[in-house]
A and B are shown apart, each in its own frame.
Chain A
Amino acid sequence: MNTLTTIPINHYLIFCSMLFSIGVIGVLIKRNALVILMSVELMINSVNLLLAAFSAYSNDPAGQIFVFFIMVVAAAEVAIGLAIFVLIYKTTHSIDIDVLNKLKW
């Protein structure tokens, strides 16, 4: 397992960027709040991987610690997010983001 010598870090960077962009595209094109949240999770995961890669290649544990914290936070965020979706579903029977647009202008 000599990943660090065989795979240049650039590969990880590019991979993560692509993953991140796919997440962004997902956020932009989807109307279902749940899927949007999933796309956000994808973005965060790409960041996690990026941090882990940096951490591993520079032999510094801090990055991986950060990933750990991100996971913690992400879990909390998802919990809240899902609670919000459930709440909204109760009132509007939909989690389509475009249904709710009373507040504008």
Chain B
Amino acid sequence: MNSIISLSVLGVLVLFLGILKKKTWLLPLILVGLLASLVMSVLHWNMNRSLFHNMLIIDNSGVAFSSVLIFSTFLIFMFAAQYYRKVVRPLDDIYAIMIFALVGAVLMSYFGNLIMLFIGIETLSIALYVLAGSHKEAITSNEATLKYFLLGSFLSGFLLFGIALIYGSSGSFDLYAIHSYVAEHAGAGLPPMFKAGLFLLIIGLLFKIAIAPFHFWAPDVYEGTPTLLTAFMATVVKTASVFAMYRFFSITFFGIHGVWEMTIAVLAAITIVIGNLTGLYQPNLKRMLAYSSISHSGYMMLAMVAFSGRTANALLFYSISYSIATIAAFAILILVREAMGNDYFGSFNGIAKKNRIEAFTLAVAMLSLTGIPPLAGFIGKYFLFAAAIEQGWLWLVIVAIAGSAVSVGYYFKPIIAMYFREDNGIVLQVGRPFRISILFLTILTILLGFLPFLLSGLI
């Protein structure tokens, strides 16, 4: 709760600073504010209480999730200075909207009532519509925001319909109330209206996570959105939605599974196949990362399918490993794009020669996303696979590993380009904070791979 307040205040402060034209103060303030919020968020550990008539439920998983979200945002802001360094105006609005989006995301990880979920999602979405289009003169950015907005608002209609049906059958928006309704009807089978509502609600969330066939927006929007914000989208938004979904399931369907499992399993399988296969043919890194993020959504659904006490932790670990690797990849992408003007793989040719740290960062990120031990990505994947196998979803795991095998095909493209192709002689212009940040990400990726127990037993 404190973190929500502090973040909101931070956002407003940022706007004020913008009005006061204090450009240089912006980023330090944001970073400090985010850190403070992170601390506040972490301080809620073991608080375990519900606030405002169950509007918010502060529990450990929520604390962990929201901390991850704030942390990821913090990392992304670390790269903001570099990304926007040629922009003269204060950018307070963009930063403020990012922080407001984060507020929405944090709400999604604490919600105890569908109203809060709805408001959280909408805060996040509206902020993202704006962010996607924030590069106004670029036609791709325009297209991204249009597509995202149209599809997003369309799907939020379904989400609302689903909420309405759930309300109609269970008589409440409160998660615990819904849970008691579900528990009551679990034996005789849930009434169709509730099921319809449930699935429409899930579909609304699946859209945000970019699960096939609701993933179509993702590649286009990711490609069109300004790169820094794409990183935000691919990490914070996705993990927030996955967490929201987990939260919804874990409370309302506590102890009762099976209603949604098969559907999500099939969708996850389709997502993995489509994400990986399509990713294989992409000529540029940004779009490839979009498909990568789609396929990773599919992997995360494995945990959802194999729902158990360890799901939260598996998701947490996976999303952290995924987020740091993806952010690192986007960070390097920002650099290369700045130097070369595009994100085609050809731009990466031979950059390893003169930019060892940057190339190494991207390589580690790619390897982690592929799931090569002993990097964090592997441990994350292992948790998911283990969970799925434990629950008997062997076929799904087979699909997942087939996907992983295919994914080597595209994750290695930048590695091959950077290390093995002819040098194109560019030297990336990197500031010190930026370099420290990417090093930090790399070390974190390796460290989490070697010391996964730091996070594995958390929730």
A touching B, CB within 8 angstroms: yes
Determine whether the beta carbon of B168 is less than 8 Å from that of A50. Answer: yes
Within 8 Å CB of B167, what residues of A? 51, 54, 62-63, 66
Binary contact readout A17-52 vs B (1 if CB under 8 angstroms, 0 otherwise): 000100110010000010011001001101100110
Interface-side segment among B1-9, B144-152, B379-387:
B144-152
Instruction: Kindly report which residue of chain B lies nearest to residue A88, judged by CB atoms.
Output: B142
| A14 interface contact, C-beta 8 A | no
Instruction: Kindly report which residue of chain A lies nearest to residue B129, judged by CB atoms.
Output: A80
Q: Is the interface of A mostly helix, strand, loop or mixed?
A: helix
Q: Enumerate 20 A-B pairs (CB-CB under 8 Å) in ascending A order.
A: A13-B168, A36-B150, A40-B154, A44-B157, A44-B160, A50-B161, A50-B165, A54-B164, A62-B167, A66-B118, A66-B167, A76-B122, A76-B126, A80-B126, A84-B129, A84-B146, A87-B142, A100-B143, A103-B140, A103-B220
| A69 interface contact, C-beta 8 A | yes
Binary contact readout B146-178 vs A (1 if CB under 8 angstroms, 0 otherwise): 110110011011001101110110011100000
Determine whether the beta carbon of A80 is less than 8 Å from that of B149. Answer: yes
Determine whether the beta carbon of A73 is less than 8 Å from that of B118. Answer: yes
Residues of A within 8 A of B (CB): 13, 20, 23-24, 27, 33, 36-37, 40, 43-44, 46-47, 50-51, 54, 58, 60, 62-63, 65-66, 69-70, 73, 76-77, 80-81, 84-85, 87-88, 91-92, 97, 100-105
Within 8 Å CB of B220, what residues of A? 103-104
Determine whether the beta carbon of A47 is less than 8 Å from that of B157. Answer: yes
Within 8 Å CB of A105, what residues of B? 281
Within 8 Å CB of A60, what residues of B? 171-172
How many chain B residues have a CB neighbour from A under 8 Å? 41
State in angstroms the CA–CA spacing of A23 and B160 once bound together. 14
Q: A50-B168, A87-B142 are in contact. Are A103 and B223 (CB under 8 A)?
A: yes
| B133 interface contact, C-beta 8 A | yes
Q: In the complex, which of the residues B142, B153, B164 contacts A37, with contact meaning CB atoms closer than 8 Å?
A: B153
> Shortest distance in angstroms between A74's beta carbon and chain B's nearest beta carbon?
9
Q: A69-B115, A77-B153 are in contact. Are A58 and B145 (CB under 8 A)?
A: no
| B226 interface contact, C-beta 8 A | no
| B62 interface contact, C-beta 8 A | no
> Shortest distance in angstroms between A34's beta carbon and chain B's nearest beta carbon?
11
Determine whether the beta carbon of A91 is less than 8 Å from that of B161. Answer: no
State in angstroms the CA–CA spacing of A41 and B138 once bound together. 28
State in angstroms the CA–CA spacing of A37 and B219 once bound together. 22
Determine whether the beta carbon of B153 is less than 8 Å from that of A47. Answer: no
Determine whether the beta carbon of B142 is less than 8 Å from that of A70. Answer: no
Instruction: Kindly report which residue of chain A lies nearest to residue B145, judged by CB atoms.
Output: A84
Instruction: Kindly report which residue of chain A lies nearest to residue B161, judged by CB atoms.
Output: A47
State in angstroms the CA–CA spacing of A77 and B155 once bound together. 13
Within 8 Å CB of A54, what residues of B? 164, 167-168
Determine whether the beta carbon of B122 is less than 8 Å from that of A77. Answer: yes
Within 8 Å CB of B164, what residues of A? 47, 50-51, 54, 63
Q: In the complex, which of the residues B161, B172, B281 contacts A43, with contact meaning CB atoms closer than 8 Å?
A: B161
State in angstroms the CA–CA spacing of A70 and B173 once bound together. 14
Determine whether the beta carbon of B130 is less than 8 Å from that of A66. Answer: no
Determine whether the beta carbon of A81 is less than 8 Å from that of B161. Answer: no
| B403 interface contact, C-beta 8 A | no
State in angstroms the CA–CA spacing of A44 and B153 once bound together. 9
Instruction: Kindly report which residue of chain B lies nearest to residue A36, judged by CB atoms.
Output: B150
Determine whether the beta carbon of A66 is less than 8 Å from that of B145. Answer: no
Within 8 Å CB of B298, what residues of A? none
Within 8 Å CB of B224, what residues of A? 103
| B139 interface contact, C-beta 8 A | yes
B137, B164, B171, B219 pick with most chain A CB within 10 angstroms: B164
Q: A66-B115, A84-B133 are in contact. Are A100 and B157 (CB under 8 A)?
A: no
Determine whether the beta carbon of A87 is less than 8 Å from that of B149. Answer: no
Instruction: Kindly report which residue of chain A lies nearest to residue B220, judged by CB atoms.
Output: A103
| B354 interface contact, C-beta 8 A | no
State in angstroms the CA–CA spacing of A37 and B3 once bound together. 34
> Shortest distance in angstroms between A54's beta carbon and chain B's nearest beta carbon?
4
Instruction: Kindly report which residue of chain B lies nearest to residue A95, judged by CB atoms.
Output: B146
Determine whether the beta carbon of A103 is less than 8 Å from that of B149. Answer: no
> Shortest distance in angstroms between A41's beta carbon and chain B's nearest beta carbon?
9
Within 8 Å CB of A65, what residues of B? 115
Instruction: Kindly report which residue of chain B lies nearest to residue A23, judged by CB atoms.
Output: B157
Q: In the complex, which of the residues A27, A46, A62, A100 contacts B173, with contact meaning CB atoms closer than 8 Å?
A: A62
Within 8 Å CB of B140, what residues of A? 102-103
> Shortest distance in angstroms between B281's beta carbon and chain A's nearest beta carbon?
8
Within 8 Å CB of B115, what residues of A? 65-66, 69
Within 8 Å CB of A73, what residues of B? 118-119, 122
